[in-house]
Amino acid sequence: MDLFSLADEKKFDAHAPLAWRMRPRSLDEVVGQEHIIGPDSPLHQAIENDRLQSFVLYGPPGSGKTTIAHIIARTTSSHYAAIKAVSSGVGEIRKIAADAADHLKYYQQSSIIFVDEIHRFNKSQQDVLLPYVEDGTLILIGATTENPLYEINNALLSRMKLYIMEALNANSLRRIVEQALADPERGLGKHNISIDEQSMVMIVQAAQGDARTALNILDTLHNSYSSKDGSLRITPELLEKVTGRLILKYDRSGDYHYDTISAFIKSIRGSDPDAALFWLAVMLEGGEDPKFIARRLIVHAAEDIGLADPYALTLAASTARALEFVGMPEARIPLAEATIYLATAPKSNSSKMAIDKAINTVQNTPRIIVPPHIADSSHSQSASLGKGKGYKYPHDYGGYVKQEYLPQEIEGITLYEPGKNGYEQNIRDFLQKIKKQPPP
């Protein structure tokens, strides 16, 4: 089944949405993604020479993934089939593979299968594809908005080239809008449509790197507000009616979710409050669960600030409590306060390093026995077992006395190395001071 047949194009072209009509017909018409399909790129050459190998196109919506597949369908001499992962099963895959085997056997013709939203294929569907891709029966082209490193089986992914597509920049979106307004055959060029600079900027901003969104905005403006002869003057006032409040594209369970929280935490760790506040705003505007943000602030306060500023953890925990108490949108303020405080606090990961080292030591110590002198001596008969014998009560010695608290097998080990920032310098000085005290 070829979803991009020329017959279907002609049948639906007259009434198709503007975004469909303006879809590039050749690589030369594609705007943006020069790093992938520029004239000298390997993929461009492979498409032109019809020598394709299996690959995955990974990128945000409206970046041109399906467009490239559409162009391949028009230009390749290979047998071509296209399916959507969300609506296709194992049976359809096997039928396409059987047809591909026949084309190869009887016509010496290779076969391409394009799988849109390939990340929606489950493991069994991917396993069915694997042998056909491996032996060359099928050339697989996948398109996905989700990170293929997590969504596609390693066995299948290792046999495919990965191309990372980017959200279109402002210049590329502007060119696409201008082309749609100028093209008299597929676009709106036969109508008298004008647009001012402010309106162009608003369309580009509202599209957020998505060509389809930009063209859909134009389409809506023309269908809703053009006069009987098709003429239209696009103004910021009309655009506000169409676009309304800018809705940020943010997937709370997808790759962008993890990238954004990573950028947020790394900005705090890097002591950049402006960047941290920006990513906080991205998450809040995108509809991220504020409780998730609060939890990450608590973890960061302990992991990356720790004893350099012990109050940081208290503030982060208080922020989580404030969020539960007042809710959004008011809780954006304590979230911002905590973000700024943590970003500007002295940093130390000594607590994390210490506990990880301690756990590793426990896992690699074959025998762990509590030294008798620090064992429980609360029972009246404990002394008969040697428990508590020889224990020195620190308060009897002014608050500190030298004695061993570790098992004999690991005596003298150092797990905690205090940092030199903030309050932790006080801890460092204290530990150095008591180390110099002689035994009683």
DSSP 272-291: -HHHHHHHHHHHHHTT--HH
Task: Dump pLDDT digits (tens) for 327-370.
Answer: 999 999 999 999 999 999 999 999 999 999 999 999 998 888 88
Q: Three-state SS for 426?
A: helix
What is the pLDDT of the chain when averaged over all its residues?
89
CB-based burial label for 90 (10 Å; 0-12, 13-18, 19+): middle
Q: Where do you find CATH 1.10.3710 in the chain?
A: 359-436
Predicted pLDDT at 245:
61
Task: State the span(s) of the chain assigned CATH 3.40.50.300.
Answer: 33-164
What integer pLDDT is reported at residue 390 of this predicted model?
87
* Tokens 């009509």 belong to residue: 21
> What pLDDT is stored for residue 228 in this prediction?
86
Reported as type and span, the H/E element at residue 238 is helix 236-243
Given the structure tokens 């403006």, which residue do they identify? 221
pLDDT per residue as tens digits for the range 17-55: 999 999 999 999 999 899 999 998 999 999 988 899 999
Residue 97's nearest CA partner among 87, 111, 118, 83 is 111
Query: Class assignment of domain 359-436?
Result: mainly alpha
**pLDDT single digits (tens) 407-437:** 988 888 999 999 889 999 999 999 888 888 8
Selected residue with higher pLDDT from 7 and 185? 185
- Among 3-7, 154-158, 188-192, 234-238, whose mean pLDDT is lowest? 3-7
How far is it, in rounded angstroms, from Cα 371 to Cα 54?
A: 63
Task: Specify the domain boundaries for CATH 1.10.8.60 within the chain.
Answer: 170-243
Instruction: Label residue 112 by pLDDT band (50, 70, 90).
Output: very high
Is the pLDDT confidence value at 1 over 70? no
The whole-number pLDDT of residue 4 equals 46
d(CA 163, CA 157) in angstroms, rounded, equals: 12
Helices 273-285 & 332-344 angle (0-180, nearest 10): 150
> Of how many residues is the chain composed?
440
Q: Which residues contact 290 (CB under 8 A, 6 or more apart)?
A: 284, 323, 328, 331, 332, 335
**Per-residue pLDDT at 320 exceeds 50:** yes
Name the band, by pLDDT with cuts 50, 70 and 90, for residue 249.
Answer: low
Domain boundaries for CATH 1.20.272.10 within the chain: 254-347
- 119 close to 144: Cβ distance less than 8 angstroms: yes
pLDDT on residue 76: 87
Q: Span 13-20, mean pLDDT?
A: 81
The token pair at 165 is 């597509």
- The DSSP bridge pattern shows strands 232-234 and 193-195 to be parallel
Average pLDDT score over residue span 174-197: 93
Class of domain 33-164: alpha beta
User: What's the confidence (pLDDT) of residue 243?
Assistant: 82
What confidence category does residue 382 fall into, taking pLDDT thresholds of 50, 70 and 90?
confident
Amino acid at 431: L
Instruction: Decide if 170 contacts 184 (C-beta within 8 A).
Output: no
CATH number of this structure's domain 254-347:
1.20.272.10
87 pLDDT above the threshold of 80: yes
Read off the pLDDT of each residue in 245-266 and give the average, rounded to a whole number.
74
In CATH terms, is domain 170-243 a member of 2.30.40.10? no
